[in-house]
Chain A
Amino acid sequence: MAKRIDVSGLTAYYGSHKAIDDISMTVEPRSVTAFIGPSGCGKSTFLRTLNRMHEVTPGGRVEGKVLLDDEDLYGAGVDPVSVRREVGMVFQRPNPFPTMSIFDNVAAGLRLNGNYRKSELNDIVEKSLRGANLWNEVKDRLNKPGSGLSGGQQQRLCIARAIAVEPDVLLMDEPCSALDPISTLAIEDLIGELKERFTIVIVTHNMQQAARVSDRTAFFNLAAVGQPGKLVEIDDTERIFSNPSVQATEDYISGRFG
């Protein structure tokens, strides 16, 4: 059910501070798009506007359009709750619900969205955990709390929780920044598998990671501290890393700043 995202003229604020300015881009379905850029350039903010999480922050507000296939997420009468149901998100730090078991964590989204029979739930939880490459590690302790897992396992649990509801899009906000290299590798492999089924957008600080996992890469930058972040360019990952069309991108990628 992967869908295309079409962003046009999107500007986001924190109170009176403009965090990102006039961003337009298209994200293709069944692909991985990576956002890179220096700290504070607004790439995480932009990611959070794609499932209306930005407005959860005090003072957060958004102007512009985000079309999911043909429907504007910010159109009149759109319920942010349904938006977040369609656009899943994985956060920087693994955040399984500490009071729930592994099973309940994965089932949490399903239980919100309808009545499932126990057998249906079992099937979907198993499928999601398999999808997150976690099933073999946890199948014997589904009733143990999710907080007992290692950091990498917790993050894959969060991915399982997000994909259990079969969203159209999966947003990932630096999903590996709190993990060790081996767990990071596991998640990167997983991203490669998940893009068969989902539209994936990932924010990362790690350029090698962007190069490894993404099909397209968007580079964000800001003119100065306190200025709003802007989209510098978006292109095929290969081009961005070999022959970008903007000088600033090349400077950033070759490590001259940021």
Chain B
Amino acid sequence: MSHAAIADKRPGSLRGARLPQWGPYAIAAGSVAAGLGISAGAGLHSSIQWALIAAVLYVLGTYGIAARVEGRRQAKDRVATSFVWVAFLLAVIPLASLVWATVKRGVKVLDGYFLTHSMGVVADSEPGGGIYHAILGSLEQVGLATLIGAPIGVLTAIYLVEYGRGRLAKAVTFFVDVMTGIPSIVAGLFILSIMLMLKMQPFGFAGSLALAILMMPVVVRSTEEMLKLVPNELREASLALGVPKWRTILKVVLPTSIGGITTGVMLAIARIAGETAPVLLLVFGNPFINSNPFEGAQASLPLYIYQQYSQSAGSTYAYDRAWAASLTLIAFVMILNLLARGIARWKAPKTGR
């Protein structure tokens, strides 16, 4: 009985009707054309709209045509495929637009003058000025944050991997995870609450402290991963030679994983270099050059972008400067990223068999 039931439901042959190879492309072209047509007919101008219409038409069209020709299962498969492609393309559009806009608008005022001058005597609504003070502030704040955050992060990771057992290690692991999710503005508010109690005015190092808090969990996580990659045989070989544990860690474990650790630290730097919120609260911003991070308000690159945008009442000069500063910041972050990945690849422990 069940035999018959199965036999009824199996396809008669291995060969099913198939859409031709060019089918999906044809449907895609048709959808885009229809999307454009509908938009033109209805007087819609936004590129977002016709793209959305085309995307919906493509997914529906694929299902309809495939279901007629190939059957429901194949149609579902094709819809999934087309949805996945559409999702990918949908995500690419804003990202491409972001990169394109930043580069196109950023290069307008980005030149040697822009990089070497401050906003000291330039009103936000006027042309001219530059980001020297902001770059200086960013480098100092991020540098100090790294000096604090990176060692603590690396040491904590060493504790977790090399010594960590028991409740303390579990608690640290859990809270490192939780700390990763702290919004940057909360870290800023924390330092702010201390400054309020000590009656302090904004200064660069306060920002560094908040940035260091944001940096630590990132460094811990990446360093932990790297230390775990060091094979236990190496540690045991060293310990068996009578080398104390701390020297084993310093001379064997760390050198083996130094490439990965450096990569992790650089990625963490790239992340905090773009943070605006804590700097806004703690360093406040300053159009003049202030090279002392321990006294007086400073500027920073992300904060500069925000203030050029928000305090300029729509001046195109300010917007141009904001874009140019964005381009500089993105370039800095991307270079750090690329360098970090380069180091990771170059120093990667060889795991050949």
A contact set with B: CB distance below 8 Å: 1, 68, 71, 73, 75, 77-79, 81-83, 85-86, 110, 112-116, 120, 123-124, 127, 165-166
Contacts and interface: CB of A to CB of B under 8 A. Distances in A.
B14 A73 contact: yes
Interface in B1-59: 1-3, 5-7, 9-11, 13-16, 18
A79 B18 contact: yes
Contacts of A127: 2
Contact of A123 (B1, B13, B14, B15): B1
Contacts of B18: 77, 79
B15 A78 contact: yes
A166 B6 contact: yes
A13 B187 CA distance: 57
Given A77-B18, A112-B73, A82 B5 contact: no
Given A77-B18, A83-B14, A120 B2 contact: yes
Contact of B6 (A75, A115, A165): A165
A243 B216 CA distance: 72
A166 B1 CA distance: 13
Nearest to B9: A114
Output the residue of B11, B14, B18, B73 with the most chain A CB within 10 A. Answer: B14
Given A79-B18, A81-B73, 17 more contacts: A1-B7, A68-B14, A71-B13, A71-B14, A71-B15, A77-B18, A82-B15, A82-B16, A86-B14, A110-B6, A113-B10, A115-B9, A123-B1, A124-B5, A165-B6, A166-B3, A166-B7
A120 B5 CA distance: 8
A77 B10 contact: no
19 contacts: A1-B7, A71-B15, A78-B14, A78-B15, A79-B15, A79-B16, A81-B73, A82-B13, A85-B10, A86-B14, A113-B9, A115-B9, A120-B2, A120-B5, A123-B1, A124-B5, A127-B2, A166-B3, A166-B7
B19 to A, nearest CB: 11
A77 B15 contact: yes
A78 B9 CA distance: 18
Nearest to A127: B2
Contacts of A86: 14
Nearest to B77: A81
Contacts of A77: 15, 18
Output the residue of B1, B6, B16 with the most chain A CB within 10 A. Answer: B6
Interface of B: 1-3, 5-7, 9-11, 13-16, 18, 73
A216 B1 CA distance: 33
Nearest to A124: B2
Given A68-B14, A78-B14, A79-B16, A123 B2 contact: yes
Contacts of A83: 14
Contacts of B3: 166
A71 B12 CA distance: 12
A150 B15 CA distance: 39
A66 to B, nearest CB: 11
Contacts of A79: 14-16, 18
The 4 A-B residue pairs whose C-beta atoms are closest, nearest first, are A114-B9, A123-B2, A82-B14, A124-B2
A123 B18 CA distance: 33
Nearest to B73: A112
Contacts of A120: 2, 5
A82 B11 contact: yes
A166 B13 CA distance: 15
Contacts of B13: 71, 82
Contacts of A114: 9-10
Nearest to B8: A114
Nearest to B15: A77
Contacts of A1: 7
Nearest to A114: B9
A115 B73 CA distance: 12
Contacts of B14: 68, 71, 73, 75, 78-79, 82-83, 86
Output the residue of B3, B7, B9, B18 with the most chain A CB within 10 A. Answer: B9
Nearest to A116: B5
B148 to A, nearest CB: 45
A81 B10 CA distance: 12
B104 to A, nearest CB: 39
Contacts of A78: 14-15
A25 B11 CA distance: 27
